[in-house]
Amino acid sequence: MKFRIRRMTPDDLEQVIAIDHASFSLPWPERSFRFELTDNPAARCWVAEGEDGSVIGMLVLWLIVDEAHIATIATKPEYRRQGAAKQLMDYALVSAVDEGAKSAFLEVRESNLAAQAMYRQYGFVATGRRPHYYKDNDEDALLMTLEHLTL
């Protein structure tokens, strides 16, 4: 495995926020990451480390009873297409199953074909639409669901 997956710590926040800003037109405010990391008991926050120990990817999952909600996932642009996001997904989903998750879901921009392709590899299927979900361009979100989460 090229990358090491581990739980996020407060020391990672600067790098995580930089990845978030490089990846999304509506990045989360720093306080949101801090909240997930320190105050949200449902949140499971993961990072991928490169060989030099720097953070090259992150994933936040909310585990609510037996449902896993992928809240965000991104990898550093210069490290994409090297399997880091799939490694993050593997760890986060296996860990969620260990904790009792039976299904998973997420929202993704309708135009984000790269992410949708990845989610389909895991068996997620589009099951709904959230109209005007993204406030920057009024884009719809597709709701993608993985009904039977077994890994």
Ligand X SMILES: CC(C)(COP(=O)(O)OP(=O)(O)OC[C@H]1O[C@@H](n2cnc3c(N)ncnc32)[C@H](O)[C@@H]1OP(=O)(O)O)[C@@H](O)C(=O)NCCC(=O)NCCS
Catalytic residue ranges: 107, 119
Nearest to 120 by CA among 74, 75, 86: 86
Closer residue to ligand X, CB minimum distance, 23 or 32: 23
Q: Compute how many other C-beta atoms are within 10 angstroms of the C-beta atom of residue 19.
A: 23
From the list 9-17, 76-84, 92-100, 124-132, the region that binds ligand X by CB under 6 A is 76-84
Question: Smallest gap, in angstroms, from Cβ of residue 117 to ligand X?
Answer: 4
How far apart, in whole angstroms, are the C-alpha atoms of residue 6 and residue 148? 25
**C-beta of residue 104 within 8 angstroms of C-beta of residue 93:** yes
Closer residue to ligand X, CB minimum distance, 8 or 115: 115
Binding residues for ligand X, rule: CB under 6 A, are 23-24, 73-75, 80-86, 108, 112, 114-115, 117-118, 121
